Amino acid sequence: MKRQSQFLVAALFLGAVTACTSAPASPSLQPDASGLEGLLLLPLVSIKVGVAIAPDNRTVTITFIGGPVRPKTDPCYSEYAGWAGLDGQQQLDLAVAELRDGRANHGTACPAAGSERVVQVVLNKPFVGTTATDLSDGHQLALAR
């Protein structure tokens, strides 16, 4: 199931991401649709910190543990993108994919410390439900309002 959800989310990143932004300390993220093979292998990050939906019922803020915030030129820089999909009125699926893992740079020793990271995703229509599903592991997440 995990492999299927990774494939599903990678495919959806190609055509369905409506908006992705990161925490203010990180640059804006836009998935690169040119590398289909790489997208199919994107690791999903577990959403362990929290999920909130804004009063507009469309802006979803996903907080997770990822690599430390670093300049894009740093060899240990990590980059993330969020995705959200609505399945009817009561089901919201969420995923955070690691677009660039700084630890994967050959010949560079990067710290293994995690940092709180944030991505925001804007839904194409309002969501009034109270829970979401983390596609990385299938867990239900309570939405803070």
Tokens of 78: 């990590």
Task: Cite the DSSP H helix spans in the chain.
Answer: 2-15, 36-40
Per-chain mean pLDDT for the chain: 74
The model's pLDDT over 89-123, given as tens digits with 9 standing for 90+, comes to: 788 999 999 887 655 666 777 778 889 999 999 99
Range of the domain at 32: 2-144
The model's pLDDT over 16-32, given as tens digits with 9 standing for 90+, comes to: 333 333 333 333 333 33
pLDDT band at 43 (very low <50, low <70, confident <90, very high): confident
Residues 6 or more apart in contact with residue 38 via CB below 8 angstroms: none
Q: Does 46 have pLDDT greater than 80?
A: yes
Q: What is the pLDDT, as a whole number, of residue 130?
A: 93
Is 41 in contact with 100 (CB distance < 8 Å)? no
Q: Which residues pair with residue 142 across a beta bridge?
A: 131
The model's pLDDT over 51-67, given as tens digits with 9 standing for 90+, comes to: 999 999 999 999 999 98
Q: Which is higher by pLDDT, 46 or 33?
A: 46
Is 125 in contact with 73 (CB distance < 8 Å)? no
3-state secondary structure of 62: strand
Q: What are phi and psi of 128, to 5 degrees?
A: -110, 5
The number of distinct structural domains making up the chain is: 1
Tokens of 27: 């640059």
Q: Which of 14, 3, 83, 70 is nearest to 43 (CA)?
A: 3
